[in-house]
A = this chain, B = another copy of it.
Amino acid sequence: MKLSGTVLDLDMADYSVSLDPSYSMLEFDSLRVLSVGSDVLMPDPAPQAAVTNEMGALCSICEDRATGKHYGAASCDGCKGFFRRSVRKNHVYTCRFSRQCVVDKDKRNQCRYCRLRKCFRAGMKKDAVQNERDRISNRRPGWEEAHSLSLSILLQAEAMAHQFSAPLLPGADITSKKFASVTDVCESMKQQLLLLVEWAKHIPAFCKLPLDDRVALLRAHAGEHLILGVARRSLPYDDILLLGNDFVILMSGPDPEVSRVATRILDELVRPLRELDITDSEFACLKTIIFFDPDCPGVEQCLVVKQLRFQAQVLLEDSSSERRGRFGELLLLLPPLQSVAWQMVEQLQLARMVGAAQVDSLLQEMLLGGGIGSRGAIPEYSQPGPPRPLPREPVRANMMLPSNLTSVIHPVPSSSVDRPLSPLPTGSEIYEQDHARILAGSAQILPVTLIPKQEIL
């Protein structure tokens, strides 16, 4: 391996500074075992580099010239030998930095931990080492799909949603905002739920799903999306939740139940998000991960959904790998988010029961998990109950005919997706599109009720 001397000098300066003989206390890798947990039946971890290489046969680990496929990945002899030695001797490596070392032809020997990890990620299988010669993988790689996500798609969908929202940092005095009444809160929720539908429609993979699945996905985690949205919107402020319609919720509000939920949102979500200083990409990925829930009741194409969540999850890992532990911290926001969302939904149930809230049919359907007035707010024995606000029985679309949701769920025309930089449709345009589509008969299910124009935004 030949190294150019000119690069060396610069690298040396960096290294001599950053080298530290003391290890972080978080490095406990001496106990990490390589020999366990190998073959998994998961969706193929997107063999990105090896496949997309222009047949130039580049090593998918270090981009040196590859000598063929070795242990499952196109690789050079160096990476091949390195992987074999590592697996054979059950080596345990330690990254002295933050596990983000660049692994290329010049620097591949600088961090064995990151090199080995990249070997695994490039698709090398440790079972291919030392075991009896396995058959050459006769799997066909041609499983490319339009069922895929990308960061740009997600950011685009996100940008669309923000177009409709109040600007995040208007400079306007936050204290001038009005305190939200219960009606204001419900109105905001409704707006945000419609935005969620629009957001989803901008994800092509979502639009390819069957209608029943689309409905089920939209319903399953609506509450979490509302909470996540308000938490993100409230990031710049202290002790204040900013609703989508520019109202605010204070900690010291009149309703102790509302304050309790609000406090949890601030403590368990806003503060961690602020400390992490979440980026737009990370937010978009997180939202998508929540959205594509393979365990969502009633979803038929759950393997596709699982694959989509997997992609989103890996996108998040990539986006958040700048700091060690960041990815995990982001994912660990999901359980409290789920918990808070359920608490909010239950309060909405109660408020509706005592007549304090006028629950719109869309709210009813997406948050309270049932048709209008068809379900009690208090859990009954015949229903899974509040820990699972949505019924676990398959949701048939025909059961939901008298619903607003199906009327707003149709995909956006592909032209709207294909022109990312063009102005996004306004609320009325969306309405008109849907309306036209429905009238043209492209909808399989006739909506009984159309949401009035002014409510769509």
> Hey, which bits of chain A sit against chain B, CB under 8 A?
1-5, 7-9, 11-12, 15-16, 22-34, 36-42, 45-46, 64-65, 87-90, 92-94, 96, 99, 105-107, 109-113, 117, 120-121, 126-135, 138, 140-142, 144-145, 148, 150-152, 155, 257, 260, 264, 267-268, 275-282, 289, 295, 309-311, 313-329, 331-332, 334-336, 338-339, 342-343, 345-346, 350, 378-379, 381, 384-388, 392
**Contact between chains at A295 and B268 (CB < 8 Å):** yes
CA of A343 to CA of B15, assembled, Å: 54
**Interchain residue pairs with CB less than 8 A apart (21):** A1-B130, A11-B131, A12-B90, A12-B132, A25-B148, A31-B155, A33-B279, A33-B281, A36-B280, A37-B276, A40-B276, A92-B138, A110-B132, A257-B381, A309-B332, A313-B325, A313-B329, A317-B325, A331-B331, A339-B387, A343-B385
| Minimal beta-carbon separation of A346 from chain B (angstroms) | 5
**Contact between chains at B138 and A30 (CB < 8 Å):** yes
From B29, B138, B320, B386, give the contact of A386 (CB < 8 A): B386
The number of times this chain is found in the oligomer is 2
Interface of A is mostly: loop
| Minimal beta-carbon separation of A107 from chain B (angstroms) | 7
| Minimal beta-carbon separation of A433 from chain B (angstroms) | 28
Q: Which residues of B contact A334 (CB under 8 A)?
A: 331-332, 334-335
**Contact between chains at B141 and A22 (CB < 8 Å):** yes
Indicate whether A322 sits within 8 Å of B120 (C-beta atoms), given known contacts A12-B88, A64-B1.
yes
